[in-house]
Amino acid sequence: MPQPLRAAIIGSGNIGTDLLLKILRHGRHVAAGALVGIDPASDGLARAARLGVPTTADGVQGLVAMDAFGDIDIVFDATSAASHLDNEAVLRRARPGIRMIDLTPAAIGPYCVPVVNGEEHLDARNVNMVTCGGQATIPMVAAVHRVASVRYAEIVASISSRSAGPGTRANIDEFTETTARAIEVVGGATKGKAIIVLNPADPPLIMRDTVYTLSEPGSESAIEASVAEMVAAVQAYVPGYRLKQRVQFDPVQGLKVPGVGEDLAGLKTSIFLEVEGAAHYLPAFAGNLDIMTSAALRTAERMAEKMRRA
């Protein structure tokens, strides 16, 4: 059996460390090759070193200088949108063909939501995992759209403020813009809108997502069945992903939607989700981070599987 491909993770914070533990526990076609940070005292780098994973605290330049870099086939970037632009440029100069999986909202490469369009981008050199809200909600927009054409989709992602680290907070604008665009490009909506809420509740609440779609008239039972099928597909790699209640439907007449420019009539579908994390490194309430790392690993596994067959 061929050896798994080796992957490096840039970013030794919550997301990068959680992703590292997921690779070590569940990676079949991908193995942990390096963890990269900029803080020598970070818990992530210390944990990786204890687990025998090569580390550097010198950022992407440190990765390129590592002996292990020559064996790296895939690089996950779990930093920030601005940092990803620099990291991508450095890695392209060093290894033009290296594969990158971007967990920031930088969106250099095509958007990737594994259960919706993951198979379309297995040959891409850089794929973008959208956002946590996008990974949770775009499958639901797509589930409605494959039954009845979605004219407008709006999502609200509510996450615990304690699960929003510096990278998340620095990327709020990019979060809303990237998610809204991916709702259209991947989810199929003519117009998309995204809202993020940082919930300060104590004890922390787990991630909640609300999806509203306005579609052409369609079969409510068919939409409900499509949503249930899509939920099950996401649960294959995010077990804590679930519906909070049954899908709700409301006929709509004469609704004016900004950006669409017409009075719309059709079917309003409301979907309420909850995402509980697997608690590999982060608390269970941090489902927003868990769904990102789970989707990134699922994408890398499929990418590596195809690369190993080539």
**120 and 306 Cβ atoms separated by less than 8 Å:** no
42 is in an annotated binding site: no
Q: Establish whether 132 is a catalytic residue.
A: yes
189 is in an annotated binding site: no
166 is in an annotated binding site: yes
13 is in an annotated binding site: yes
168 is in an annotated binding site: yes
Q: Which of 8, 66, 132, 155 is catalytic?
A: 132
163 is in an annotated binding site: yes
Tally of CB atoms within 10 A around 172: 13
15 is in an annotated binding site: yes
28 is in an annotated binding site: no
HEC per residue, the chain: CCCCEEEEEECCCHHHHHHHHHHHHHCCCEEEEEEECCCCCCHHHHHHHHCCCCEECCHHHHHHHCHHHHHEEEEEECCCHHHHHHHHHHHHHHCCCCEEEECCCCCCCCECCHHHHHHHHCCCCEEECCCHHHHHHHHHHHHHHCCCCEEEEEEEEEEEHHHCCHHHHHCHHHHHHHHHHHHHHCCCCCEEEEEEEEECCCCCCCEEEEEEEEECCCCHHHHHHHHHHHHHHHHCCCCCEEECCCCEEEEEEEEECCCCCCEEEEEEEEEEEEECCCCCCCCCCCHHHHHHHHHHHHHHHHHHHHHHHC
54 is in an annotated binding site: no
34 is in an annotated binding site: no
Q: How far apart are CA 169 and CA 97, in angstroms?
A: 31
Q: Both tokens of residue 57?
A: 């605290």
240 is in an annotated binding site: no
164 is in an annotated binding site: yes
Closest CA to 271 of 139, 96, 151: 139
- Residue set of the binding site for NAD(+): 12-15, 163-171, 288
- Residue set of the binding site: 12-15, 163-171, 288
* Residues taking part in catalysis: 132
